[in-house]
Each structure stands twice: as C-alpha cells, then as structure tokens.
Chains A and B, each alone.
Chain A
Amino acid sequence: MAKLEVRNSSKVFKKDGQTIYALQETNMQVEDKKFVSIIGPSGCGKSTLFNIIAGLLKPSTGHVLLDGHDIVGKSGYVGYMLQKDLLLPWRTILDNIILGLEVKGVSKKEGRKRALPMLQKYGLKGFENHYPNELSGGMRQRAALLRTLFYDKDVILLDEPFGALDAQTRLMMQTWLLKIWEDFKKTILFVTHDIDEAIYLSDEIYVMSHRPGRIKAKVTVNLPRPRNEQTLSHESFIQLKQDLLAMMKEEQIT
C-alpha cells in the first residue's frame, strides 16, 4: 500500500463568472520513505495540490489517503513547509522549533529539552537563543525545516524551501536535506521549479503541465545514492536534465 495517495483530486473555482481549473483530476501514489519531487511552470497548481494534501484546502473532487485513511480537508496530518521560513520573529529559534509541540499541549520547558539536542546536531548549535532576524537565510530555512521535522509526521511537504536562497547556499542545503532525510527516514514531497534540484534530490519526479494543472509525466530517477557534487556531472543526470528541460519548454510555449 502506498504511504500517501492522491485520488482523483481536482480544484475548480469561479471568479468573475469564469470557471478556473486550478487542478485537474490528479492521481499520485507515493511509497514510504521515498523522496518525490513535483516540477512545473508557475501557476500549474503545485501549491494547490500541496494545500489539498496538507488539508488546508478542500478539493472539489477526490480524496487524499494517508496509510489508507482519508485525510481530505483535515490539517495536521502531514508536515508542511512553505517557501518563506515563517519563523515567528518574537520567538527564539529554539522556541520556534517547538511550536508544533506546544500546539499539541507539551509544555515549553519539556519541548525545549527535547528539541535542543536535535538543534545542535543539525547545524544550529549556538543559535538556539537567537531571534530569527539575527540569522542568515540558509540558517532560517534550516530552523524552519527542523520545526517541520520536529512536528514528527511521516510525510513532509516542502514547497520550494530553497527558492529564495543563493545558488551556493542552496547546494549546501540540498546536501544537508538529503542527510536529514536519510537520518529521519521520512517520506518527502518536494515542490521546485529547479530541474537540477529535482534530479539531485529525488527518487521520482512528477512533471506538471500549465493551467489547467495536471500531472503529465512521472520520471524515476535511478541515480545511485548517496549523492554528492559528482552526481551533478553524472551522465544520466545530464541526460535526464535535457529531457526534463525539453518537457518544460513545451509548457512555456502556451
């Protein structure tokens, strides 16, 4: 059984008398502990799809199954991280990370005690009591990701988490993310418009088409793991990159 299944989900709404198809009927099956990316041009419904999976948006049709249970319209079942780090500026990094625990009813003191070792292990040592505005963009994304991980759900949605970072920081963060993924054994769904990033990170890539959004291809990457800088110059990496670029180019013509 798939860990996460999106079944016939679609989203249609009306605005100014026009019917807009944000997402056509979409089917996806994600296996446990896989790293799956979704790429597509902007406005292709990637974020709509994510909001549906996260339970923040009710689809017009269809269902979302997590371990076979319907979670459509219910939030809090999967971890979700958006492009903006969304750290609360009035909370320290440590207190930001325990936000999910607090919502669950765990005391601040207990949460801090649990979060501290993880924070220190994953590159935020010495920044526990800093406020977000004192950190660099990469550090803030780290904190945001750790907050999502610390919420401890099997499936994690990452919506262009590194989109706002510079190229060098991004590569560093990608490697860091892979390490974390291996350590925590989560199922990750990753939205990006960066083809290199998608190939470098993923087991599978779903390619979405321009509005009305739908999945038009599913690619299995098959590059050996663990991956590192050498992966980027691997023959099949370059081959796949060319294929995906061609697919994306078709989308831009419309």
Chain B
Amino acid sequence: MDRNDEHADLTYPKIEYIPKPDKKIKPEIEIEDETKKSRKTKRVALIGQIVLGIVFIALWEILTRMKVIDPYYWSSPSLIVQTGLQVLKEGSLYTDLLYTAGATILGFILGTIGGAILGLSFWWSSLYSRITEPYMVAFNAIPKLALAPVLVILFGIGFNSKVVLAFMMTIIVTALAAYSGVKAVDQDLEKLLYSLGAKRYHVFSKVVVPTSMPWIVSSLKINIALSLAGTIVGEFISAQHGIGRMILYAGQVMNINLVWVGVVVLSILSIVMYLGTLYLEKWLLKGH
C-alpha cells in the first residue's frame, strides 16, 4: 500500500517533511542590538537627570530674582553659594560638617551592623525570636526622637549622644528587615545542607546570611535618612558643633540663607551616603 496515496488507509499516520529554506536570513535586515539599545536608554536618562537638575536650579534663581517667590524665605542658589563660601572660609562649616557626617555615618554603620546581627540571631531559636519579636515591634513604634533630650543628658552634649541617636534610629529597622529575611529562608535549602552533613553554623553562614542579605541591604537606604534625622535632632537639642546646630543658630538670628546652606550641605551628605550604599549593595549582593 502506498502510504502517501490519498485514497489509502486514512488511519495510517502520515509524515510530511518540510524542506529546509535554501537561503539564509537576508543580511540587509536590520538586527536589533539590545546592548546598544540599553546603553542608549541609560545615556538619555543621565542627560535627562542633569537637565532636570539645571532647570530646577535655574527656575529657583529666576523666580526669586523676579520676586515671584520671596527670596527672604526661599533664598536663592546664588545667595546660598555666596553664604556657603563665606562660612567655608571662616572654617566653621568644615568642622560642623565633620561632626555631623561623623556621627551620622558612625551611627549608621553601628546601627546597621547591630541590627543585622540582632535580626539574624533570631534564626537560632524560634522560642527566643517569638518571645522577643513583639517587644521589637513595640520598640520600633516608639518615637525615638522624643527620647532625644534624655539621651543628650545621658550621653553628654558632645559627639556621643548624636551617634547613639543615629544608632537607635537604625538598629530596629534593620533588625526587623533581617528577621524578615530569616523567615524567608527556604526550608528545603536547610534540609539540603543537613543532608550534606552540615552543622547549624554551616547552614547559618551558607544559607541564612546570604538569603537575608537583600533584606538587610534594602534597609540601608532607609537608614541614611533615619540616621541623619537622629543626628540633626540631637544637634538641635544641644551641641557645640554640627550642621544641625548651625541651622538652629541661623534660624534664631533670622539668617535664612545660612539655614539653606545647612539644608543643601545635608542633602549633599545624604547623596554621598546614598552613592556609598549603592557600591556597598553591589558588593553585598554579588550573584543575587
């Protein structure tokens, strides 16, 4: 029986082979280059960011000069730069910045590391974590800045009380974040490690810590603002140096331009810290 005869047994499967096309894809077709495309998007975005910044500053300058917005309250970019250069020359801005940046960064680092250790420690015992968790949440809910006057009395009006405030602002947030990471650890991954003869500390270092890392890292960016707020409030209450003290003083003597200098300096500080965390993030999340 001829298999390909249409009138033959219809129930027999029929296989039809389709010949290869003899031509290759025409070279004149334009091939989309994805790397090129994404690089271009990146470049356009960067240009856009710069342009937006320039437009914002220019508008601020123009509108205050035209008195559309009151330069007494809102100052202006040129006045801010002028006042800034002046205090920089006097040398006080430099010292103030050193104090504020030092306290913020130190508090940030101690709070983040301490919080990570605290949050990760909950993996070791579910009983311990269950007993402690509600207290952590409660402590997190306390407006810690309201405790600032007590802390300043306790730790002195100097550098230390600011570090403690920045530390307290960040530790619990980080601990809760790390604890979320701990809760997300894949039970099967733990099982796998035990099947490979692992002890608990192996599971901790090879699974729990890397799993929680994205959670901990996500708290870094929040911690910049929190630690900065802690330091500034501490300086508001009582301090000999620091940008917060400078702003408070400038406000009291109605030197609004100087207030703005402080705000701009703090913004620059937080941007620098933000860029720092971006690098840290890349390093901590290798392979994630």
Is residue B117 contacting chain A, with contact meaning CB distance below 8 A? no
Per-residue CB contact flags for chain A residues 22-35 toward chain B (1 = under 8 Å, else 0) read 00000000000000
For chain B, the bracket of interface size reads: 20 to 34
A84 touches B202 (CB 8 A): no
Give the nearest-CB partner of A99 in chain B: B196
Complex: how many Å from CA A78 to CA B213?
A: 31
Is residue B59 contacting chain A, with contact meaning CB distance below 8 A? no
Complex: how many Å from CA A54 to CA B191?
A: 10
Complex: how many Å from CA A215 to CA B285?
A: 47
A84 touches B197 (CB 8 A): no
Give the nearest-CB partner of B194 in chain A: A75
B192 touches A131 (CB 8 A): no
Give the nearest-CB partner of B207 in chain A: A88
Complex: how many Å from CA A55 to CA B213?
A: 30
Residues on B with C-beta less than 8 A from A103 are: 193, 196-199, 202, 206
Complex: how many Å from CA A111 to CA B197?
A: 16
Known contacts being A84-B188, A90-B286, A92-B287, is A76 close to B195, with CB within 8 Å?
A: yes
B197 touches A56 (CB 8 A): no
Complex: how many Å from CA A91 to CA B196?
A: 16
A88 touches B189 (CB 8 A): yes
- Which of B189, B197, B207, B210 is within 8 Å of A75, CB to CB? B197
- Which of A56, A79, A89, A131 is within 8 Å of B194, CB to CB? A56
- Which of A78, A82, A102 is within 8 Å of B192, CB to CB? A82
Complex: how many Å from CA A79 to CA B287?
A: 26
Instruction: Tell me the B198-220 residues at the A interface (CB within 8 Å).
Output: 198-199, 202, 206-207, 210, 213
Residues on A with C-beta less than 8 A from B186 are: 86
B192 touches A80 (CB 8 A): yes
Known contacts being A99-B206, A103-B202, is A86 close to B194, with CB within 8 Å?
A: no
Is residue B288 contacting chain A, with contact meaning CB distance below 8 A? yes
Give the nearest-CB partner of B192 in chain A: A86
Known contacts being A82-B188, A84-B188, A131-B287, is A90 close to B194, with CB within 8 Å?
A: no
Known contacts being A56-B191, A84-B188, A103-B202, is A89 close to B197, with CB within 8 Å?
A: no
What is the interface of chain A, defined by CB distance below 8 A to chain B? Answer: 54-56, 75-76, 78-80, 82, 84, 86, 88-92, 99-100, 102-104, 131, 151
